[in-house]
Amino acid sequence: MNKERDYFFDNLKAVLIFLVVLGHFLLPIRGDNPLVVVKRLIYVFHMPLFVFISGYFAKKIYKNGQYNFKKILYLLKAYVVFVVAIQIVYAIAGFEKFTEIDFFSQSGARGIYLQ
């Protein structure tokens, strides 16, 4: 089965990836700088739109009237590995202790600039 790509979604994902990079680049900016408004605007919609697009393409998570628990468990395992790896990096860098790991309040924007 040869499926054609949907170039609209390809381009939308490219723009969102650029906005993620720009948003992370703008994280240290605070105060009365006009770029703070740009940063906040980016963070209002870029991740929800990523989640929406991912859900649009995640058709294999639910099939034949049942959830595909193997796929869900794979995603949960990947999340745990990612959180532990990030916590190890933070512990090595001296920002946090490894014992301060919290699986329920993770944020990609919790870097040293937000503390």
Cα–Cα distance between 90 and 48 in angstroms, integer? Answer: 26
Q: Give the per-residue pLDDT at 59.
A: 64
First vs last Cα of the chain: how many Å apart? 51
Q: What are 48-77's pLDDT values in tens digits?
A: 787 778 777 766 666 677 777 777 788 788
In tens, the pLDDT along 79-112 reads 888 888 878 887 888 776 767 677 766 555 454 4
Check residue 106 and give its pLDDT.
59
- CA gap 40, 18 in Å, rounded: 15
Return the amino acid letter for 88: I
Q: What is the reported pLDDT for 51?
A: 78
| Residue 10 scores a pLDDT above 80 | yes
Tokens standing for residue 84 = 């532990």
C-alpha R_g of the chain: 18
